[in-house]
Structure 1
Amino acid sequence: MATSGKVIRCRAAVAWAAGKPLSVEEVEVAPPKAQEVRVKIVASGICRTDDHVLGGYFPNIEFPVIPGHEGAGIVESVGEGVTSVKPGDKVIPLCLPQCGECCFCLNPDSNYCIKSHFSESQNLMPDKTSRFTCKGKQIHHFLWTSTFAEYTVMPEYAVAKIDAAAPLDKVCLLGCGFPTGYGAAINTAKVKPGSTCAVFGLGGVGLSVVMGCKAAGASRIIAIDINKDKFAKAKELGATDCVNPKDFTKPIHEVLMEMTGLGVDYSFEAIGHKDTLVRDLLAHHRCLCVMVGELASGSVVSFDPMLLLCGRTWRGSVLGGWKTRDSIPKLVSSYLEKKLNPDLLITHTLPIAEVNKGFELLRAGKSIRSVLLF
């Protein structure tokens, strides 16, 4: 392309400091270096994790920063040595990389990667420099994706080529929210047909868990949230029961016990609250509990270890257990074949200039997924 090898000036939503609204600015995006890819972002979902970044929940995130990690776009240019994608390819940036070389990537039972943000900082590119500047200042990356920028740069192992027929304003949700929830049910829990499931939290991830439980053949799916406005969507996606903890004076785990007898077979915490995690664990006598929501850094959870000794299992699930570079293109293909329908999660579509409105809708519980368009 004509812009290859040149600095690109474009729009981006910059978080200058924690606790402040995003500011849509003109930023400069440097060309990709060796083994890097520069992508023109077409669409990006707003995920609760992005809101946590703005709130300063993650002390390892450095400001100023360009958030965003649930995007889709088109490769603009590639650095030396890149072979898996080329200019013009449609791609999804990966907030969980797949380097293909570490012991985790080589383990067929793991989708973790040593290059992920859990193991190393992604505030800068792997060479410890940034590709973003604004008003003469260095701007930090977020998860190497920064999809709230019209152009962004990431390592080759943090981008997946997808089918050219994919609508980018829809499949952007396959970058985080949908595969995280859907995979937690399908891959991590391996929900069995005829089973009973409880889902704590009905945001985009929790509703994707509901969809995964339904796809796996669960006979009863109990959706739990303090926002009753989400119940209609939950039932549309497969929930058989909806429960608002505010409607009861007793703890929610006791309510679930009364509803089911001995408790549910699988439960999923898709909120990211430590208190809800413990309630999740109490919701059954012998069951698999899956932690899907991401807690604030430094959170400590206390529980009686006898709960595990009695047969409960507690597992974590990062991005639904999918090996991202291998699996995200397959999920896109399944979407095109109408086997998946994450479109049902999209409640608002907004221009990037209205990014703060998208976060207001999220915080007010009035949206499931808002998609930003450039």
Structure 2
Amino acid sequence: MGGIDDNTWPMPGDMAGKVITCKAAVAWGPGLPLEIEEVRVDPPQKMEVRIKILFTSICHTDLSAWQGENEDQRVYPRIFGHEASGIVESVGEGVRDMKKGDHVVPIFNGECGDCVYCKCEKTNLCEIFRVNPFKSVMVNDGRSRFSTKLGEPIYHFLNTSTFSEYTVLDSACVVKIEPQVSLKKMTLLSCGVSTGVGAVWNSANVKAGSTVAIFGLGAVGLAVAEGARARAASKIIGVDINSEKFTKDLSLDIGKAMGMTDFFNPRDVDKPVHEGWGLTVTLGIHPTPRMLPFHPMELFHGRRIIGSVFGDVKGKTQLPHFAKECMRGVLNLDEFITHELPFSKINEAFQLLLKGKSLRCLLHL
């Protein structure tokens, strides 16, 4: 199905309530090439959804998990992947907000809508379905919905496991979107783009005329730039310790397209560039327990620092709005997709990201 994006998808036959056999990229150990295997995908249980993945991409979180950077996450065999889009194949008992054929985006940071956390405007971390890199089974019964042909369990990842033609998720981790929206582009809202744009719109609430400095010009950093451009920031400064990103790397041209006005490497200057004040928002996953190297007094003089998970976006509540903003042209997602490959070449896509050659390589299933 590679390359087609007209949002008209052939639906599988009626497999509701039955086990589906399909292809998946299985990780058997840290750093080992992913193996395209035939796996069994169980039907969804109560408050679960089984979806057919049409597009998936690779994020640095997938890369670090595949490399086994955190020993506590080394659960194998496992199906990685958390940026994707697809269609609902079947739903389990109790699911009311989705049905077969709906266009959906999986989210690693779920939203049940009922817990005290979801009902609070100050957090986007659901009590039960928040992001948890150590979780490897379903909430419902503590079991996996994936297995080998011999019936041995294959474990889940980040509430999603999208490196598979079919996957089962808690309904709290699935967002329904309008069928008119490009599923290919909506893949990017599962993680990186929503994290960056959300940090600007939600966490920092950047206003028109603001100055924004971005430290680290990967996909998330560029998403911050796109969010700042959409909010009419007057100056968007890109900062990275890799000077190649300002010469031969793809980040420079894309950064300019996303509104960056200045670029510099802090290692190339011998004195502070400007007075440091304002709000710092930290994003991303930090696999080591190293502490932030600053003195508490550095937070005086109008300085603040906060952490942001998934850009403080409440997935099921806010992602449909993000999708509409993309339709209106407020957000431009085209520049993020630097490569497209068939799913069978997933290991090649990993190498592109590992070598800094891609922002997002879209895989067609």
TM-score normalised per structure 1 = 0.88
Matched with 2:27 is 15
Matched with 1:132 is 146
Matched with 2:64 is 52
CA shift, 1:311, in A, is 2.9
Q: Is the 8 A contact 2:129 2:172 kept in 1?
A: no
Which amino acid is 1:81 matched to?
A: G
Worse-matched range after superposition: 146-155 or 224-233? 224-233
Which amino acid is 2:143 matched to?
A: T
Which amino acid is 1:52 matched to?
A: S
Q: In the comparison of the two structures, how many residue pairs are matched? A: 344
1:206 paired to 2:228: no
1:212-255 Cα offsets, whole Å, 9 max, x none, are 11122211111122123121111111100111345x163xxx4x
User: 1:169 & 1:118 partners in 2: Cα distance?
Assistant: 23
Q: Is the 8 A contact 1:213 1:221 kept in 2?
A: yes
SS in structure 2 opposite 1:334? helix
Q: Is the 8 A contact 1:290 1:317 kept in 2?
A: yes
Q: Is the 8 A contact 1:14 1:25 kept in 2?
A: yes
1:192 paired to 2:213: no
User: 1:123 & 1:161 partners in 2: Cα distance?
Assistant: 24
User: 1:224 & 1:310 partners in 2: Cα distance?
Assistant: 22
Worse-matched range after superposition: 37-46 or 290-299? 290-299
Q: Is the 8 A contact 1:181 1:320 kept in 2?
A: yes
Q: Is the 8 A contact 2:129 2:173 kept in 1?
A: no
User: 1:310 & 1:32 partners in 2: Cα distance?
Assistant: 53
Matched with 2:265 is 244
Q: 1:75 aligns with which of 65, 88, 95?
A: 88
Matched with 1:5 is 17
CA shift, 1:135, in A, is 4.5
Structure 1 segments (4+ residues) deviating >6 Å: none
Matched with 1:155 is 170
Which amino acid is 1:14 matched to?
A: V
Q: 1:85 aligns with which of 98, 102, 116?
A: 98
Worse-matched range after superposition: 66-75 or 111-120? 111-120
| CA separation of 1:294 and 1:158: change in aligned 2, threshold 3 A | same
SS in structure 2 opposite 1:24? strand
Q: Is the 8 A contact 2:131 2:159 kept in 1?
A: no
Which amino acid is 2:293 matched to?
A: S
Matched with 1:266 is none
User: 1:46 & 1:97 partners in 2: Cα distance?
Assistant: 19
Matched with 1:350 is 341
CA shift, 1:320, in A, is 1.0
What are the residue-to-residue correspondences of 1:103-182 with 2, within 5 Å?
A: 103-118=116-131, 121-126=134-139, 127-136=141-150, 137-182=152-197
Q: 1:29 aligns with which of 41, 51, 55?
A: 41
Q: Is the 8 A contact 1:65 1:140 kept in 2?
A: yes
CA shift, 1:310, in A, is 3.5
SS in structure 2 opposite 1:60? helix
Q: Is the 8 A contact 1:59 1:297 kept in 2?
A: no
SS in structure 1 opposite 2:71? coil
CA shift, 1:335, in A, is 1.5
Q: Could you list the runs of 5+ residues in structure 1 that have no partner in the other structure?
A: 263-283
User: 2:35 & 2:239 partners in 1: Cα distance?
Assistant: 35
User: 1:224 & 1:94 partners in 2: Cα distance?
Assistant: 29
Matched with 1:279 is none
User: 1:82 & 1:121 partners in 2: Cα distance?
Assistant: 26
SS in structure 2 opposite 1:148? coil
Q: Is the 8 A contact 1:117 1:143 kept in 2?
A: no
User: 1:312 & 1:204 partners in 2: Cα distance?
Assistant: 26
1:40-67 Cα offsets, whole Å, 9 max, x none, are 0000121111001101123332221101
CA shift, 1:184, in A, is 0.5
User: 1:305 & 1:326 partners in 2: Cα distance?
Assistant: 36
SS in structure 2 opposite 1:50? helix
CA shift, 1:121, in A, is 4.6
Q: Is the 8 A contact 2:340 2:362 kept in 1?
A: yes
Which amino acid is 1:208 matched to?
A: A
Q: Is the 8 A contact 2:111 2:315 kept in 1?
A: yes
SS in structure 1 opposite 2:108? coil
| CA separation of 1:235 and 1:75: change in aligned 2, threshold 3 A | same
